[in-house]
């Protein structure tokens, strides 16, 4: 870990980001630049079409972008720090030419910003699922309510994307700093927010037992208050009275919850006249309202966002907060509607990459159509696929209809592993052997093959949904299916 006292003598830093086209890294780079620091970055995918918009906006912010070959050291920039993420290998070319420069993990850089912005109320949002959307919702609600927060997110927020900023970072002059805290490498243990939000603990990256320990450290690092899912609150251990715990409860089926037990309760989610609605108890007041987007998981996300803003701005009415939420236009690649194919098949693009997210998104799409849903999933690493494959199969068997199709594409390799097993084809073959609906699983070797077969089988009112993390070209590929 970088020792904070090393930075006290430095006012404006010169910082180089390895892997700057990553959604988390690019947001952090933009924030450092906005704060007045000199920023550069490199990426191995600098020439990929999916990064064209991002790189263009980085350059407009005076952020120089280099190929990831060590060439940045030949420029006038001699950085004080090199920022990297867990996905960067030890033999990276930029590491090799900068051995004398202090390395700074992405989480350390964010923790440093959090400390520098100590005059503002920091709100860190984490959880296995929903953290990007909840961060975006909180940021948008506060913006609509004229609080002008700083927002740093792990996804592109559609309403915050403009000619200069990509959308994963929003500058602000208000009293709040809202950011997403990623648990995927356990680095969220370094953060010390004033307020934390913990949406859930699921099967992603690590066992539930490991994640409980990680989230517990994060919770105990929180200074003032935590908004936490009631189902995991009992798993957390906090010092009595240290922080205020606000509970958000997602009512399980056939289980009643006493109104006095929790502050915020989701009692019902339903589709009325093709629009999603939620019924909630907020501080013992029953409220019905239309949601800005489909899916029970988005009803849950909305309730976390409402709870966080209400706790921050207790002078605002719940009605004002819900009205502000209604203006939410979503985040890039979170069940994002792309258009229709020539045969009137609806096309969606989604960042889902773990079991809970995949299942929640397919379930939400079943609300939209009674027809076939074709899921095209690209695993974001061999390790994650191996970790999730058994649980994923178990859950898919419960929700796939015989007419549905779950397609697994070759694993997207972004470095960080020496094992290239299992392959997607091996996983799908194992699914077919034990499935009650083997015809609902397929694996294709190439995108061309998948596109041809899927377009030929899709009909009017069917849905094609693309899923996967890290690889921005998935969104471009989804657009290729759209005719209007």
Would you say 359 and 399 are in contact if contact means Cβ atoms under 8 Å apart? yes
Count of CB atoms situated within 10 Å of the CB of 116: 12
Residue 285 is given by DSSP the state E
CA dist 191 and 114 (Å) reads 8
Q: In residues, how long is the chain?
A: 484
CB-based contact 327:146 (threshold 8 Å) = no
φ, ψ (nearest 5 deg) of residue 174: -80, -165
For residue 191, cis peptide bond before it (omega within 30 degrees of 0)? no
CB atoms within 10 A of CB 152: 23
CATH superfamily of 4-105: NAD(P)-binding Rossmann-like Domain (3.40.50.720)
State residue 231's pLDDT score: 84
Distance CA 160, CA 328 (A): 11
Amino acid 17: pLDDT: 97
Q: Which residue is associated with the tokens 């009631």?
A: 230
- CB contact set of 412 (below 8 Å; sequence gap of 6+): 378, 379, 380, 381, 468, 470, 471
Contact between 188 and 216 under an 8 Å Cβ cutoff? The reply is: no
Q: What distance in Å separates the CA atoms of residue 266 and residue 248, rounded to the nearest whole number?
A: 8
Answer yes or no: are the C-beta atoms of 159 and 329 closer than 8 Å: yes
Write b or e for each residue in 214-234: b if 16 or more Cβ atoms lie within 10 A of its Cβ, otherwise e: bbbebbbbbeebbbbbbebbe
pLDDT confidence of residue 203 = 63
- Give the C-alpha separation, 461 to 346, whole Å: 6
Q: Which fold has domain 117-325?
A: 3.40.1190
- C-alpha–C-alpha distance, residues 50 and 35, integer Å: 27
> What Cα–Cα distance (Å) separates residue 274 from each residue in 271, 293, 295, 469?
6, 11, 12, 29
Question: Interior CA angle at 381 toward 380 and 387, to 5°?
Answer: 105
What homologous superfamily does CATH list for 336-480?
Answer: Mur ligase, C-terminal domain (3.90.190.20)
Residues 251 and 82: their CA atoms lie apart, in Å, by 46
CB-based burial of residue 415 (10 Å sphere; 0-12 exposed, 13-18 middle, 19+ buried)? exposed
pLDDT at position 78 is: 84
| Domain range annotation of the chain | 4-105, 117-325, 336-480
Q: How far, in Å, CA of 174 to CA of 417, rounded?
A: 42
CA distance linking residue 461 with residue 330, whole number of Å: 23
CA–CA gap between residue 432 and residue 316 (Å, rounded): 53
pLDDT tens over the chain, length 484 residues: 333 334 444 478 999 999 999 999 999 999 999 999 999 999 998 998 889 999 999 999 999 999 999 999 987 778 999 999 988 888 999 999 999 999 999 999 999 999 999 999 999 999 988 999 999 999 999 999 999 999 999 999 999 999 999 999 999 999 999 999 987 778 889 999 999 999 988 765 567 778 888 889 999 999 999 999 988 887 887 776 788 989 898 765 545 555 545 689 999 999 998 899 999 998 778 999 999 998 999 999 999 999 999 999 998 999 999 999 999 998 988 888 999 999 999 999 998 988 988 999 999 999 999 999 999 999 988 989 998 999 999 999 999 999 999 999 999 986 655 578 899 999 999 999 999 999 999 999 999 999 999 999 999 999 999 999 888 899 999 999 999 7
Residue 136: Cβ-neighbour burial (10 angstroms; 0-12, 13-18, 19+): buried
User: Whole-angstrom Cα distance, residue 235 to residue 239?
Assistant: 13
Residue 188, both tokens: 């969220």
Q: CA-CA distance, 345 to 136, in Å (whole number)? A: 29
Cβ(56)–Cβ(161) below 8 Å: no
The values of phi and psi at residue 127, to 5°, are 140, 160
pLDDT given for residue 235 in this prediction:
82
pTM for this entry:
0.86
Reference 308, options 469, 125, 98; nearest CA is 125
Q: Is the dihedral of CA 303, 306, 311, 315 positive or negative?
A: negative
Bridge partner residues of 350 (DSSP):
467
Token pair in block for residue 231: 């189902």
User: Distance between CA atoms of 295 and 39, rounded to whole angstroms?
Assistant: 39
Characterize the bridge pairing of strands 38-43 and 14-18: parallel
Tokens representing 378? 């690209």
Going 44 to 46 to 47 to 52, the CA torsion angle's sign is positive
The string of DSSP letters for 436-466 reads: S-GGGEEE-SSHHHHHHHHHHH--TT-EEEE
Number of CB atoms found within 10 A of residue 337's CB: 15
Share of the chain residues as helix, strand and coil, in percent rounded to the nearest 5? 35, 25, 40
- CA distances (Å), 339 to each of 150, 280, 344, in order? 32, 32, 9
């Amino acid at each position: 870990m970088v020792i904070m006292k090393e930075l006290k003598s430095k006012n404006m830093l010169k910082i180089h980001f390895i892997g700057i086209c990553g959604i988390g890294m690019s947001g952090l780079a933009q924030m450092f630049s906005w704060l007045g620091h000199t920023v550069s970055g490199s990426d191995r995918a600098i020439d990929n079409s999916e990064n064209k918009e991002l790189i263009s906006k980085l350059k407009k912010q005076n952020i120089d972008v280099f190929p990831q070959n060590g060439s940045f050291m030949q420029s006038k920039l001699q950085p004080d720090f090199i920022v990297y993420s867990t996905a960067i290998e030890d033999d990276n070319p930029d590491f090799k030419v900068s051995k004398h420069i202090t390395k700074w993990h992405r989480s350390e850089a964010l923790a440093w910003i959090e400390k520098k912005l100590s005059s503002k109320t920091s709100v860190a949002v984490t959880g296995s699922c929903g953290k990007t959307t909840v961060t975006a919702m909180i940021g948008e609600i506060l913006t609509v309510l004229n609080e002008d927060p700083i927002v740093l997110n792990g996804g592109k927020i559609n309403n915050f994307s403009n000619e200069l900023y990509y959308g994963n970072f929003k500058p602000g002059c208000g009293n709040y700093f809202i950011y997403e805290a990623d648990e995927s490498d356990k680095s969220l243990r370094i953060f010390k927010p004033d307020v934390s939000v913990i949406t859930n603990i699921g099967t992603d990256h690590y066992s539930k037992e490991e994640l409980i320990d990680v989230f517990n450290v994060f919770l105990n690092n929180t200074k003032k208050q935590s908004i936490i899912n009631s189902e995991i609150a009992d798993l957390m251990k906090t010092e009595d009275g240290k922080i205020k715990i606000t509970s958000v409860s997602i009512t399980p089926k056939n289980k009643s919850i006493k109104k006095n037990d929790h502050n915020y309760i989701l009692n019902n989610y339903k589709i009325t006249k093709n629009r999603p609605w939620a019924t909630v108890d907020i501080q013992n007041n029953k409220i019905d309202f239309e949601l800005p987007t489909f899916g029970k998981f988005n009803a849950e996300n909305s309730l976390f966002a409402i709870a966080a803003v209400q706790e921050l701005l207790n002078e605002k009415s719940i009605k004002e907060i819900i009205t502000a939420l209604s203006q939410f236009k979503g985040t890039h690649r979170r069940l994002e509607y792309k258009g229709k194919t020539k045969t009137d098949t609806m096309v969606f693009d989604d960042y889902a990459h773990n079991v809970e997210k995949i299942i929640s998104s397919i379930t939400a799409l079943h609300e939209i159509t009674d027809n076939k849903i074709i899921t095209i999933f690209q695993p974001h690493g061999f390790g994650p696929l191996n970790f999730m494959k058994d649980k994923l199969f178990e859950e898919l068997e419960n929700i796939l209809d015989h007419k549905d199709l779950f397609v697994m594409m070759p694993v997207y390799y972004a470095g960080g592993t020496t094992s290239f097993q299992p392959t997607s084809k091996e996983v799908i073959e194992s699914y077919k052997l034990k499935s009650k609906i083997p015809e609902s699983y397929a694996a294709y070797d190439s995108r061309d093959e998948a596109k041809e077969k899927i377009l030929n089988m899709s009909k009017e009112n069917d849905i094609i949904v693309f899923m996967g993390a890290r690889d921005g070209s998935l969104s471009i590929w989804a657009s290729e299916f759209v005719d209007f």
